[in-house]
């Protein structure tokens, strides 16, 4: 009896885990999110031998010299964790403590421009969550008028000097404000590929499910991450499946059959 075919329409979920610091032990697998594309590519290079004893040269042996296992993955789940992988970085949560009273003076300002409050070497993106209540803007000792001379974007910690208002080019402006306690997600870029382990858990609408485990991968960006456009944002990634010190680079397991 002929063995049945296994025509397959592939679907499934991709999980990724960074390694514990200083090891190649998975820290804990997280679902990457929806992945419209996920593929693996195997390339190899061989050293061929040809017999030249007579007639035309004929290949009589071939020895593999190297094998490269790569892949491509695209996700449209724009989580900080996924963005961090694209940026060679880390995702964290920033806790902003409340600041009861702060003041900054901005010299030689330009009408129509905006300033970001709280920027410093230790706080490079400045404050978020500035309290618009009680915020004052002064040129010298003269208070400016909210909505006429300036506007406030409290969540972003920004103050705009309204063009045509009393604040003109070259003024020195002092802003007094308070900062609300808050927390926010943050991604900080890095310079090294992200290493970890990857799983693909199949859930095929047609065909047998085979699950893949890649114990040692390096994940790097693969092209454009469009921050603005008329399509859903996607994050394209390259995968390099490497051979670990113990074991192999790729494992494919079928669904368990229970006795």
pLDDT (tens digit per residue) in 40-76: 999 999 999 999 888 899 999 999 999 999 999 999 9
Helix (H, G, I), strand (E, B) or coil at 12: strand
pTM of the model: 0.88
The count of C-alpha atoms lying within 13 angstroms of the C-alpha of 241, restricted to the half-sphere facing its C-beta, is: 24
Residue 37 domain-assigned?
yes
Q: Are residues 80 and 116 in the same domain?
A: no
CA distance 61 to 75: 43
The reply to whether 202 and 160 lie within a common domain is: no
For position 82, what pLDDT does the model report?
Answer: 97
pLDDT tens digits for 216-230? Answer: 999 999 999 999 999
* Domain-located, residue 3: no
pLDDT of residue 27: 96
Q: Which helix (H) or strand (E) holds 81?
A: helix 80-86
Residue 87 located in a structural domain: yes
176 and 195 assigned to the same domain: no
CATH number (domain holding residue 213): 2.30.110
Last residue of a domain, one of 180, 197, 214: 180
pLDDT for residue 236? 97
Residues 167 and 139 in one domain: yes
Instruction: Please tell me the distance from the alpha carbon of residue 154 to that of residue 175, in angstroms, as a whole number.
Output: 13
Cα distance between residue 219 and residue 71, in whole Å: 9
Q: How many CB atoms lie within 10 A of CB 248?
A: 13
Which parts of the chain sit beneath pLDDT 50?
A: none
Give me the number of domains the chain comprises.
2
Q: Flag whether 60 is in a domain.
A: no
Instruction: Examine the domain organization and report whether 141 and 74 are in the same domain.
Output: no
Which of 147, 180, 213 delimits the end of a domain?
A: 180
Q: Give the number of other Cβ atoms within 10 Å of residue 187's Cβ.
A: 18
User: Residue 96 to residues 61, 81, 131, 177, 182: CA-CA distances in angstroms?
Assistant: 67, 20, 13, 15, 5
Same domain, 23 and 71: yes
Query: Which residues constitute the domain of residue 140?
Result: 98-180
pLDDT at 230: 96
- Tokens representing 140? 């010298």
103 lies in the same domain as 163? yes
Buried b (16+ CB within 10 A) or exposed e, 211-243: ebbbbbbebebbeebeeeeeeeebbebbbbbee
Contact status, residue 38 vs residue 211, Cβ threshold 8 Å? no
Burial 41-68 (b: 16+ CB within 10 A, else e): eeeeeeeeeeeeeeeeeeeeeeeeeeee
Q: What pLDDT does 40 receive?
A: 96
- Tell me the C-alpha distance between 96 and 255, whole Å: 47
Domain boundary among 146, 180, 214: 180
């Amino acid at each position: 009896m002929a063995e049945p075919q296994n025509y397959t329409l592939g679907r499934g979920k991709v999980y990724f885990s960074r390694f514990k610091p200083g090891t190649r032990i998975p820290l804990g697998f997280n679902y990457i999110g929806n992945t419209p594309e996920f593929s693996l590519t195997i390339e190899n290079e061989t050293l061929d031998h040809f017999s030249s004893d007579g007639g035309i040269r004929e290949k009589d042996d071939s020895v593999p010299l190297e094998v490269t296992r790569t892949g491509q993955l695209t996700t449209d789940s724009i989580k900080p964790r996924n963005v961090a992988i694209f940026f060679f970085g880390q995702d964290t949560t920033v806790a902003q403590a409340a600041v009861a009273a702060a003041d900054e003076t901005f010299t030689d300002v330009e009408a129509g421009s905006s300033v970001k409050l709280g920027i410093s070497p230790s706080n490079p993106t400045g404050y978020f969550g500035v309290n618009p209540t009680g915020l004052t803007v002064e040129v010298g000792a003269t208070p400016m008028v909210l909505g006429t001379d300036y506007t406030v974007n409290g969540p972003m910690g920004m103050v705009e000097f309204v063009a045509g208002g009393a604040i003109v080019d070259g003024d020195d402006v002092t802003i007094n404000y308070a900062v609300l306690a808050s927390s926010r997600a943050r991604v900080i870029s890095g310079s090294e590929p992200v290493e970890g382990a990857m799983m693909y858990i199949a859930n095929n609408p047609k065909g047998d499910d085979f699950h893949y485990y890649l114990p040692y991968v390096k994940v790097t960006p693969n092209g454009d991450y469009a921050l603005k456009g008329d399509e859903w944002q996607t994050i394209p990634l390259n995968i390099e499946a490497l051979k670990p010190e113990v074991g192999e680079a790729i494992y494919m397991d079928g669904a368990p059959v229970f006795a």
